[in-house]
Amino acid sequence: MTKATIYHNPSCSKSRSSLDILQNQEDLEIEEVRYLEQTPSKETLKTLCASMSISPFEIIRTGEALFKELGLSKIDQKTDDEWLEILVSHPKLIERPIIQIGDKVVLGRPPEKILTILPKS
């Protein structure tokens, strides 16, 4: 069986749709990480971003009220490490869902993006 990990918030419709897609696949062992309860480490987030070839800023929910409450801005000149620290301290800002299958990772927006990393049968 191939391992699939989904970092998500079950109250999010995109997260639930992504989990449904994974659960409808054969030969996938699914690990569900509810990131608001089990915040991924800085290193995990860094690895996930690197696997998607994106910066940590690209998985930040900039439209979230908390983003503005913290005084953050899209034009802030922060390092990747600083953004990662913010994500670990405030997991509500992590864009969801993030799906990892093997060494492939996608942001499940739209959820159908998962289909691009599913193992070939």
CATH value at residue 93:
3.40.30.10
71's tokens: 């005084």
The verdict on residue 28 lying in a domain is yes
CB 101 within 8 A of CB 4: yes
Break the chain down into helix, strand, coil percent, rounded to 5: 40, 20, 40
pTM: predicted TM-score of the whole model, two decimal places: 0.95
The answer, yes or no, to whether residue 120 has pLDDT greater than 90, is no
What pLDDT, on a 0 to 100 scale, did the predictor assign at position 121?
66
Question: Could you tell me where the beta strands, DSSP code E, fall in the chain?
Answer: 2-8, 28-34, 98-101, 104-107
Which of 12, 36, 52, 88 is labelled catalytic?
12
Task: Give the number of domains in the chain.
Answer: 1
Q: Is 49 labeled as catalytic in the residue annotation?
A: no
The verdict on residue 33 lying in a domain is yes
107 forms beta bridges with: 98
Higher model confidence: residue 1 or residue 80?
Answer: 80
The verdict on residue 9 lying in a domain is yes
Summary mean pLDDT of the chain: 96
- For residue 98, the enclosing domain spans 2-116
The verdict on residue 121 lying in a domain is no
Upper half-sphere CA count for residue 104 (Cβ side, 13 Å):
13
The verdict on residue 96 lying in a domain is yes
The verdict on residue 85 lying in a domain is yes
